[in-house]
Amino acid sequence: MDGIRIVIDVDGVLPSAILARLAAGSDDTLPLMTNIGGVLENSTLERIDDTKTAPDGTPWVPNRAGTSTLRETGQHLRGSIGFIAAPAEVQVGAAWEYAHVHQDGAVIKPKDAARLHFMVGNRHVFARQVTIPARPFVGVSADDETAIERVTLDWLSGLISGLPGDRP
């Protein structure tokens, strides 16, 4: 899975009192990572509910049933979306056992029969195999990057607030 790394170089830009405050507060990054996790969880849910696009903006392939993509099984998928935050990282994903099939795509072949059998609407379908296209829902979009930058700047602002000369 792709990730992002936040590096802020303030050498020679900020006064030493602010740098000291940032250094002291940087030990407690869990609130920042929790906020970033919330941003990414919400955007992941939005992809399933509304946009139907991958994090890179590519539209998902429509399903053959003509229904809202990832919504029929979406309650299982949607209900399993979450994040785990730690001081140095945040992980966002889905716990549902078939989530990877939707994220990465898959080819399904029969195990004990010549053909697969399933229903599409009221129609019986028999197939030698079924290809489920990838419909990536987890990842960091350009909008997510902007939101993460905003959350990070807000967090940094909170660290330096309260210094002498700051206004409440």
- Backbone phi and psi for residue 8, each to the nearest 5 degrees, phi listed first: -120, 115
Residue-wise pLDDT for 37-95, tens only, equals: 999 999 999 999 999 999 999 999 988 777 787 776 557 888 999 999 988 889 999 99
Q: What pLDDT shows up at residue 156?
A: 81
Specify if 100 maps to a domain. Answer: no
In a domain, 126, yes or no: no
Give the gyration radius of the chain's Cα atoms: 22
Q: How many domains does the chain have?
A: 1
Cα 110 to Cα 40: distance, rounded to the nearest angstrom: 36
Q: What is the pLDDT of residue 3?
A: 55
Give the domain extent around 152.
16-94+137-160
* Percent of the chain scoring above 90 in pLDDT: 51
Domain contains 109: no
Evaluate whether residue 37 is within a structural domain: yes
The single-letter DSSP state of residue 49 is I
Q: Give the torsion through C-alpha atoms of 49, 51, 65, 121, to 10 deg.
A: 20
CA angle 30, 33, 35 (to 5 degrees): 110
The answer to whether the pTM exceeds 0.85 is no
**Cβ distance 60 to 135 under 8 Å?**
yes
Residue 116 lies in a domain: no
Contact 136, 2 (CB under 8 A): no
As a whole number of angstroms, the distance between CA 7 and CA 9 comes to 6
**Does residue 105 belong to any structural domain of this protein?**
no
Asked if the structure places residue 26 within a domain, the reply is yes
